[in-house]
Amino acid sequence: MTIQDQDQELHAFLYFSEEAALEPSGSGPLSGVSIALKDNLCVKDWPTTAGSRMLANFRPPYTATVVERLRASGARLLGKTNLDEFAMGSSTENSAFGPTRNPWDLERVPGGSSGGSAAAVAAGMCDMALGTDTGGSIRQPAAFCGITGLKPSYGRVSRYGLIAYGSSLDQIGPMAYSAADCARLLQVIAGPDPLDSTCYQVACPDFAAEMAVEPKGLRLGWDPALVKDLNAEMRENFEAGLQVYRDLGVQLVEVSLPHLEYSLPAYYLIATAEASSNLARYDGVRYGHRAEGARDVGSMMSRSREEGLGTEVKRRIMLGTYALSSGYYDAYYAQAQKMRTVLRQDFDQAFASVDAFALPTTPAPAFKIGEKSADPLSMYLSDVYTVVANLTGLPAISHPSGFLAGLPVGLQLMAPVWQEGRLLQLSHHFQQRTSYHQMRPQGARPAEV
Ligand code: GLN
């Protein structure tokens, strides 16, 4: 069975490249490794849709830095994966091209917005994938699909060629079965880039070397108040995960993150505000869909946006425009920015006494397709544990921590800025002791490398 056949059921991919099939793979650190790219990453002359009708026929004139680096590393680029439109969503149901299914249960969502990348890795259609994470879009689908996904520190990876959603939050990161594979992929994509002035100007450490160090003696913080409202099975899963860390000689320390409950409202104000500004460029003039037959420029622009953008994207543009409007700016956007500072202070304080912080990735395993699509607020609530890493710019990883009724569950770790190596170190040693990350859903292709 080809990957295309396998994808009939899952719909993880929006585009399969011919290049990968034709070209022998190059030499380099990822020689022969097959990689799928989330379809909000520009590749010259490849369709790049961001899951939107607006960009259905867009072929970028240039290639994202991360993709250039993958090519130079010898990787085989398989194609582009499905996502929520402009990365706005938690289920991949907001794609204009139809949803992706979770390979563990075809009735369920793979998470989002990098749901296509997570499903493709979980089903063994590729060895690794790139996702993007503005509020959890790497970590939440990784948790729902039983794989490992890392959101790097803000500024660790170049975003040149990434279709912007929330510019103060967006990061590109690796998704793979194991932390060790995430380390290999991160090593290739991370580091300074003259084409992205928000990319940190300091060379990266050797992530594999940092990962290999025994975590014995590290201090891992957690806040019991954050898990008290979880249902009993999710809480037990989380506590069992902490126990694995204790068994590794990691010291568990209770610390308090008193303002975490404000992160979700702050995130949905800031993300929608930035989205409303970033998406102003899709006006039917510069590029993207243009409505036919309009009488004047104004109606051409509004009709192009009416036809080209989906319901959730329009909702966010309206919410964001409202939050930024002069009468409400101070009450919403400015308050949300202040909360962001408070959250960062909470973490700075926590990291004075611990080396990393553990929390669940999601409040529950993958939900059913259609279950939350009529209620945006319940969809937003699935991001309750992930958005804080984006608001604070801190790195965070989700790794598999077990199964509930056959569905994968993830455990999330956060670390001080630039400490991706510590997240990989902890996750890798967790994976030396457990085999959750090696479980494959039925019908998965066996690993090739
Ligand atoms: N689910 C969140 C949102 O819809 C996060 C999305 C993302 O990280 N791209 O905004």
pLDDT digits (tens, 9 = 90+) for 345-392: 999 999 999 999 999 999 999 999 999 999 999 999 999 999 999 999
Give pLDDT, residue 449: 44
113 part of the active site: yes
Listed in sequence order, the DSSP H helices in 295-419 are: 297-308, 311-324, 335-350, 376-381, 387-392
Residue 112 has pLDDT above 50, yes or no: yes
Residue 133 Cβ inside 6 Å of ligand 1? The answer reads yes
pLDDT, tens digit, 9 for 90 and up, residues 308-336: 999 999 999 999 999 999 999 999 999 99
Beta-bridge mates of residue 41: 162
Give pLDDT, residue 448: 53
Q: How far is the CA of 133 from the centre of ligand 1 (A)?
A: 7
Of 81, 134, 381, best ligand 1 pocket probe by most atoms within 8 Å of the beta carbon: 134
**Best CA proximity match to 261, nearest among 139, 383, 171, 142:** 383
Share the mean pLDDT of the chain: 96
Give pLDDT, residue 1: 84
Q: How far is the CA of 266 from the centre of ligand 1 (A)?
A: 13
Residue 186 has pLDDT above 60, yes or no: yes
**Best CA proximity match to 323, nearest among 334, 313, 339, 315:** 334
Report percent pLDDT > 90 for the chain. 94
User: What's the start-to-end Cα distance of the chain, in Å?
Assistant: 18
Which one of 52, 90, 91, 113 is the catalytic residue? 113
Report if pTM > 0.85: yes
The full set of domain ranges for the chain reads: 3-258+337-438, 262-332
At the topology level, CATH places domain 3-258+337-438 in: Amidase signature (AS) enzymes (3.90.1300)
Q: How far is the CA of 394 from the centre of ligand 1 (A)?
A: 16
DSSP E strand stretches across 39-121:
76-81
Q: How far is the CA of 84 from the centre of ligand 1 (A)?
A: 9
Of 113, 279, 398, best ligand 1 pocket probe by most atoms within 8 Å of the beta carbon: 113
Of the pLDDT bands very low, low, confident and very high (cuts 50, 70, 90), residue 270 is very high
- Over range 173-178, report the average pLDDT: 98
Residue 136 Cβ inside 6 Å of ligand 1? The answer reads yes
Give pLDDT, residue 21: 65
